[in-house]
Structure 1
């Protein structure tokens, strides 16, 4: 008798997808060749058909599963499972081990059930079938199954490290293909609709390709801690030719502007098509959105989180130190060469997992950040840092907790040149409440195309309320663990301060309108006070870096006892329009000195110029396989300036792949109207996202949710 020869294997991708909850993956639903996509901790039914009937008395059959180039049983990257004719059910007692049983024999076909352990590495596994005759090992046959078998993390499985109990949260953080990335300012958050597209047919292969490029050892791919840390490194291109190249200077001519992307699939598709060449260009919200896509595709619950007024502490002092010259001009680098900054907003990611490497209580949400800011262990990556550790100021816990703590809790110190100081500067102010003004993400089970009802404020998860004893204790707890920070936490003497200053906040200004900068000054002493003051406005990148000066005013004046003075600067639109950069953000600095008491004061504020919304409308219903027309429109907010070099990017999962279309110039105050056609491929609620860009204005966005019948 000759050993069995394999004629066919069948993993029933669509049927098994129901238990694994992978029905949405386009790879599973490919009408030509369906790809098996399973989750850890799930049972899988599959069949093996031989060229003759299986004889349980004579034949030996083993099913082997391997991961990586050199699979090994002791490393957990290989499993060899014999077919036992009498084993008809799984015992389900030891869920961290592979197990297999014989359901049924139909002549030459064996129906088998496999249980995948909840702790195996994630990625592409391969299967082979070994056959032999009992008592004779010399004639073993090996059949390699050609299909790639994807095994993913399983947040529905309690034994998996990414287990998440709430079905509503799983629906949002694993299954939702669309979401919002919040930009703008803490006073005026602006949600940017994004197509994550984690079920697109290019995304899973691209995600596994990224893990390969990250060089993460195959055994570490079982750990969500290690995998998420690798993702934070490989999404940026600094060290390893990762997915996205960052650029923040507004020069995007040799690539795609970060503002032009409407989703992640176009980025991942292009990355695969170029064999892994970094895609130009990304900024923090693009890095974060791509991270959501990769994490959700691999089965790690993930959300995009925005921190408004986010500190970038370059010298591990847990403070953001800003320096000004005698004339009130900001000095970009301080005396020690440090270049701390406050980003108007910064977008990172939170991923959900247990932390077996930390004490109990520090699992749950963990911060990872793919935007390259500072190296961690010699590589530009960040996290996972426990959100609970950040809230408590426990900066000794891995990974990168001090950096994340500073992002949400650093004190902002202003220093001005002082000829009488032994080191050339004196501190003018310490602001304990400027950083981490608001931390938000998208709310679960809420989708708002037109407003911000889907905004969820999660500030309290990261920090105690500002000004409370718990908040200051967390700061001092962190300072104890960072020796360099201790010198910066002496509180200034306020006893001689008798003049009150208030820089009036500006929430937002419509794009193209004039605005005023205002400082209220009140003399609360019983004598006249002579005050010198400087008030200046700059256009800034959202990272906090100064772009161009817009307007500056200074003066010396006397304020009588008990009286109030108003310092006001009027800024006309023609003074700022040609000086704006990405996001149309404006920063205000104000510095004042009181001659009699040597009281010093400084403050800063920022706001954004709001842009029109790109309206999306349609008349006819959306039906699978039938073409539908969608109309887009908005009005140019500039009364005397055309919009040139115009492009529109549109996409929608289940409706259309991303596409970018050039459009003609738009006249001053002109209403822009154009149409695009979509042919739906899948049923259900789907989102259309569009983005209009021109040389004069970038990032006019619109979104709409449609029902496909």
Structure 2
């Protein structure tokens, strides 16, 4: 990368200034980008990391005489500048100031290489660089150009330093990740293309800083504070949502998405950032928690702050700070939408790695930063950075938002059974919230369980507490989003007698098992197990209820329910089997639904009630994607992708549509249509893909049909792009 120069001249009369003109500057971009681990981030700017020297080569038209001509660089940031006198030296001087030097070996009268080093706590920004050639008689100045300065996780004195290469490879350089979704016992994973090497993504991240309220309010103060990753993460967290500013994404969690994109259709950050820039900073419609988090992770990695996407299963939204969330059920097992707070089946946020000098070294390391607009923090919709260690150690006054984040992973659930306005049953579940906390492992597609880093085991609680001990010690089922590679699992929820601990003569337990993970078109098979631990027989009334719900909302009205009288002997264990056929639920599906099933077992004589509940998702039929020659392709080479769907239903599907798209691989969407797709019949399409940038890309396929328009199958296929 070399640039021609513009210049201006200050000199005394009669001075000969033509003997040494600067005609060209070579930014040595290829070598600098390799040295600074910034390859692929920009084709237009030199991109370097703070605290590490980079070099530029000056080419003169004539001879430069260092005995009478001094070289002075001037770095501009906003309205602030610093002059750097170029020196001959083999050692660096003050690490807190800009320095520039020439090695003796780099000395040539017509071509001089200057090594420039910024302070390790320089601001992340786009800088202007000037060169002054000065003598006692004149000064000639050249506008050299611009360069981008990023955080440096490879440098030990940078607050974002990570000691291991495998860490920086995963949390800075990797443009591919996995987002975990679903329910704790039925976990889905979907790939995400962070896209930091896509054209224009770095420029979008820099623009995000330039249009922040902090920059618009006081440009120079903002630029100064950008040296601090704590400040940066807080600004960027607020800017990913558009609630207070010119931010990137508008959130939407229910209703129609016809004026934008359904959040489930995004598979990468680059398209979102490009759309935001091209629309002059109008918010992109629409995002949900995993979209907000994935875009923030992209921005952080681009700017040099190590980051990863983290999923909390059964995340509590505790708006009143009580660290308790109440859930209400009817006496027949229907879940009610009465609580101001809620439990999300999963919630996705970001962890960023940095030192916390404001809190002390004990809180260095991973920090929670959550861009999903839920509650305001210091008057704006952002959350964090909060040390994960502060959450684990219950330091709830630690900035920022430790109390809210603690409740997200460790609040208690108070489940209340109500009848005629009265509470007739109550349990306290201390284990369900934050039951699992997952992120992608370093260098692997396996999940890393972060739960112990957030949570210490709670001591035994008082009477009436219920612990969710189902499947303890077993790994939950993990599947690629919307595929049939499910195997078999059994989900268990367990409850003891409500309303306090009864004596041995009257206690009994209820558990609820879901047989496997049903796919659309399968029956939902359940087993209610009742254990009579008392020394007398009982007459029970069983109420079983099923409702659909979105991952972050209370259930809708029941789509299926049943009841029956049950007789159980002393010490007996009864298994009560139930089946919900697909005809009972298909018409009620609305997309990526989760089913809430609850059983209330009432002791008729004692008027006591026991509740057990479970939530699980219904899988979608599989879409198959195959890349000619395998899943590793060469940059700029054309390859064929074959995408197909086989109708595994027992009925003909009308209006079948198979759609394929992929940022960085395809322009636009490609569709195949069939008026009727008979059972066992295949719909397929071939598309030509060509990668425009290296890294990992995601090819997304979607199948829909008019027979049940709310049911959509999606698959995500990763493609590795090599430069050679």
Match of 2:101 in 1: 101
- Among 37, 62, 66, which residue is 2:47 paired with? 37
Conserved 8 A contact 2:252-2:288: yes
- Among 238, 260, 275, which residue is 1:233 paired with? 238
**Shift of residue 536, structure 1, vs aligned partner:** 1.2
- Among 570, 584, 599, which residue is 1:561 paired with? 570
Match of 1:150 in 2: 148
**Shift of residue 390, structure 1, vs aligned partner:** 1.2
Residue 544 and residue 602 in structure 1: after superposition, are their counterparts in 2 closer, same or farther (change >3 A)?
farther
Q: How does 1:273-292 map to 2 (within 5 A)?
A: 273-292=278-297
Residue 266 and residue 144 in structure 1: after superposition, are their counterparts in 2 closer, same or farther (change >3 A)?
same
Following the alignment from structure 1 to structure 2, what is the Cα–Cα distance between the partners of residues 127 and 280? 38
1:357 aligns with 2:368: no
1:343 aligns with 2:344: yes
RMSD: 2.8
Name the SS for the 1:361 alignment partner.
helix
Conserved 8 A contact 2:353-2:365: yes
Match of 1:75 in 2: none
Residue ranges of structure 2 left out of the alignment (5+ in a row) = 1-14, 215-221, 462-466, 468-497
- Among 232, 243, 251, which residue is 2:248 paired with? 243
Conserved 8 A contact 1:587-1:606: yes
1:310 aligns with 2:315: yes
Conserved 8 A contact 1:195-1:689: no
Following the alignment from structure 1 to structure 2, what is the Cα–Cα distance between the partners of residues 89 and 215? 43
Deviations along 1:394-419, one digit per CA (max 9) or x if unpaired, are 21111111111111111110123366
Conserved 8 A contact 2:316-2:433: yes
Conserved 8 A contact 2:212-2:245: yes
Following the alignment from structure 1 to structure 2, what is the Cα–Cα distance between the partners of residues 574 and 241? 46
Conserved 8 A contact 2:366-2:387: yes
Match of 1:673 in 2: 684
1:381 aligns with 2:382: yes
Residue 618 and residue 187 in structure 1: after superposition, are their counterparts in 2 closer, same or farther (change >3 A)?
same
Conserved 8 A contact 2:535-2:570: yes
Match of 1:590 in 2: 599
Residue ranges of structure 1 left out of the alignment (5+ in a row) = 72-77, 448-453, 470-474, 476-490
Deviations along 1:621-674, one digit per CA (max 9) or x if unpaired, are 745544221211232343325264735243265xx2563223314624332221
Conserved 8 A contact 1:624-1:681: yes
Following the alignment from structure 1 to structure 2, what is the Cα–Cα distance between the partners of residues 359 and 599? 52
1:638 aligns with 2:640: no
Q: How does 1:49-68 map to 2 (within 5 A)?
A: 49-50=59-60, 52-68=62-78
Q: How does 1:232-631 map to 2 (within 5 A)?
A: 232-325=237-330, 328-334=333-339, 339-417=340-418, 424-425=422-423, 428-447=426-445, 454-465=446-457, 493-496=500-503, 498-555=507-564, 557-620=566-629, 622-631=633-642
Match of 2:118 in 1: 116
Name the SS for the 2:232 alignment partner.
helix
Following the alignment from structure 1 to structure 2, what is the Cα–Cα distance between the partners of residues 492 and 214? 52
Conserved 8 A contact 1:95-1:159: no
Following the alignment from structure 1 to structure 2, what is the Cα–Cα distance between the partners of residues 257 and 519? 37
**Shift of residue 38, structure 1, vs aligned partner:** 0.4
**Shift of residue 116, structure 1, vs aligned partner:** 1.7
Following the alignment from structure 2 to structure 1, what is the Cα–Cα distance between the partners of residues 588 and 650? 18
Deviations along 1:485-514, one digit per CA (max 9) or x if unpaired, are xxxxxx973134612111224552122111
Deviations along 1:192-247, one digit per CA (max 9) or x if unpaired, are 11111111121101111112223342222111111112222111122213111111
Conserved 8 A contact 2:621-2:713: no
Deviations along 1:502-549, one digit per CA (max 9) or x if unpaired, are 122455212211113432222222334343443211111011332342
Match of 1:17 in 2: 33
Following the alignment from structure 1 to structure 2, what is the Cα–Cα distance between the partners of residues 619 and 117? 49
Conserved 8 A contact 1:506-1:607: no
Match of 1:697 in 2: 711
**Shift of residue 182, structure 1, vs aligned partner:** 1.2
Following the alignment from structure 1 to structure 2, what is the Cα–Cα distance between the partners of residues 220 and 641? 62
Moved more, 224-233 or 207-216: 207-216
Following the alignment from structure 1 to structure 2, what is the Cα–Cα distance between the partners of residues 142 and 349? 45
Conserved 8 A contact 2:623-2:645: yes
Moved more, 102-111 or 386-395: 102-111
Match of 1:211 in 2: 209
Following the alignment from structure 1 to structure 2, what is the Cα–Cα distance between the partners of residues 13 and 331? 61
Conserved 8 A contact 1:132-1:141: yes
**Shift of residue 180, structure 1, vs aligned partner:** 1.1
Conserved 8 A contact 2:73-2:129: yes
Residue 506 and residue 165 in structure 1: after superposition, are their counterparts in 2 closer, same or farther (change >3 A)?
farther
Conserved 8 A contact 1:433-1:467: no
Following the alignment from structure 1 to structure 2, what is the Cα–Cα distance between the partners of residues 658 and 39? 33
Q: How does 1:68-87 map to 2 (within 5 A)?
A: 68=78, 70-71=79-80, 78-84=81-87, 87=88
Deviations along 1:662-693, one digit per CA (max 9) or x if unpaired, are 3314624332221111234567x754422314
Name the SS for the 1:287 alignment partner.
helix
Following the alignment from structure 2 to structure 1, what is the Cα–Cα distance between the partners of residues 141 and 129? 10
The number of residues matched between the two structures is 653
Deviations along 1:159-186, one digit per CA (max 9) or x if unpaired, are 1111111111211111111121111222
Residue 445 and residue 192 in structure 1: after superposition, are their counterparts in 2 closer, same or farther (change >3 A)?
same
Match of 2:160 in 1: 162
Normalising by structure 2, we get a TM-score of: 0.84
Deviations along 1:6-64, one digit per CA (max 9) or x if unpaired, are 43333221121121011232x2xx3xxx4200011111111334555434344343211
Conserved 8 A contact 2:514-2:524: no
Following the alignment from structure 1 to structure 2, what is the Cα–Cα distance between the partners of residues 46 and 566? 77
Conserved 8 A contact 2:643-2:701: no
Name the SS for the 1:289 alignment partner.
helix
Name the SS for the 2:509 alignment partner.
strand
Match of 1:484 in 2: none
Conserved 8 A contact 2:151-2:158: yes
**Shift of residue 612, structure 1, vs aligned partner:** 3.2
- Among 107, 119, 128, which residue is 1:126 paired with? 128
Deviations along 1:457-512, one digit per CA (max 9) or x if unpaired, are 2222221356689xxxxx9xxxxxxxxxxxxxxx9731346121112245521221
Conserved 8 A contact 1:259-1:698: no
Conserved 8 A contact 1:389-1:397: yes
Conserved 8 A contact 1:652-1:686: no
Moved more, 209-218 or 356-365: 209-218
Following the alignment from structure 2 to structure 1, what is the Cα–Cα distance between the partners of residues 304 and 95? 18
Following the alignment from structure 2 to structure 1, what is the Cα–Cα distance between the partners of residues 541 and 360? 54
Name the SS for the 2:668 alignment partner.
strand
- Among 651, 668, 671, which residue is 1:659 paired with? 668
Following the alignment from structure 2 to structure 1, what is the Cα–Cα distance between the partners of residues 379 and 433? 27
Name the SS for the 2:71 alignment partner.
strand
Following the alignment from structure 1 to structure 2, what is the Cα–Cα distance between the partners of residues 197 and 371? 20
